[in-house]
Amino acid sequence: MAMSFFDQFASPSYLGIPLIAIAIALPWVLYPTPSPRWINNRLVTLQGWLINRFTNQLMLPLNVGGHKWALLLASLMLFLITINMLGLLPYTFTPTTQLSLNMGFAVPLWLATVIIGMRNQPTVALGHLLPEGTPIPLIPVLIIIETISLFIRPLALGVRLTANLTAGHLLIQLIATAVFVLLPMMPTVAILTATVLFLLTLLEVAVAMIQAYVFVLLLSLYLQENV
């Protein structure tokens, strides 16, 4: 019984072909395409307004050089939100519960911010490894600690997204199983548990959006240090 709870996180396959590629490519089909007309429908207008608000908020602390990342970061957040939300539907697969996929997003983008910092302003980038006013005996220790924390950043990005979504999906499945088990024996308790399940589902919808925003926000903060 315990193993079946984790079956939802196994990458599905059909005729030996992994279907994770379809799960990753499908969200792009769902986005409405802006028309060349001056007046769009309400959905496209709302989508454009939300993207503009998010991009302005994200690019606010960055200088002009960091604005080149606006399209990439906005697209990444929309992509992660869509995947996370689709994963809450029944009989669907959430690719962002796979640590390998999240690390595939986190490591290259984090490495790009580090490379940009080392290329444009190497003195400032290396200066982050040693806080100002550090006593001389603590300099080697602090350099080692700051270097380790620098390399932990992409791991923290990937693990945070994976852990939050995995924990939410497991909790929803556990409570849903409890509702089905309690319904024949204690209907009143089952109804109360179903109410908790409904509230938890609403919470997971918020978590799906917040985690995508936090992922992109932390990337923008890493970029801010190196631009």
What number of other Cβ atoms are within 10 A of residue 154's Cβ?
Answer: 21
Q: What pLDDT score was predicted for residue 4? A: 66
Angle (nearest 5°) at CA 223 between 124 and 140: 40
- Cross-strand partners of 13: 18
- In this prediction, residue 5 has a pLDDT band, given cuts at 50, 70 and 90, of low
Query: How many domains would you assign to the chain?
Result: 1
201 inside domain: yes
Chain mean position to CA 218 = 10
Q: Within a domain: residue 106?
A: yes
Whether residue 34 lies inside any domain: the answer is: yes
Classified as helix, coil or strand, 12 is coil
Q: How far is CA 132 from CA 137, 141, 142, 148, in A?
A: 14, 14, 11, 18
Beta carbons of 153 and 226 less than 8 angstroms apart: no
Query: Per-residue pLDDT for 3 more than 60?
Result: no
Residue 168 lies in a domain: yes
Is residue 93 one of the residues assigned to a domain? yes
What are the Cα distances from residue 5, in Å, to 8, 174, 196, 227?
Answer: 7, 8, 19, 44
The most confident of 21-35, 127-141, 181-195, by mean pLDDT: 181-195
**pLDDT class of 63 with cuts at 50, 70, 90:** confident
Residue 202: per-residue pLDDT? 93
The torsion defined by the Cα of 93, 94, 100 and 104, in degrees rounded to 10, comes to: 120
Q: Report yes or no on 36 lying in a domain.
A: yes
CB 96 within 8 A of CB 87: yes
pLDDT of residue 34: 67
* Rounded distance between C-alpha atoms, residue 125 and residue 161, angstroms: 26
Domain membership of residue 2 (yes or no) is: no
102 inside domain = yes
Q: What is the tens place of the pLDDT at every residue in 97-156?
A: 888 889 999 999 999 999 988 888 888 878 878 877 778 888 888 888 888 988 999 999
Cα angle 186, 168, 181; round to 5: 20
The pTM (predicted TM-score) of the whole model is 0.84
CB atoms within 10 A of CB 216: 26
Asked whether the predicted pLDDT for residue 198 surpasses 90, the reply is yes
- Supply the range of the domain harboring residue 190: 7-225
Q: What is the percent of the chain with per-residue pLDDT over 70, rounded to a whole number?
A: 95
Contact indicator for 93, 19 with CB cutoff of 8 Å: yes
What tokens were used for 61? Answer: 């602390």
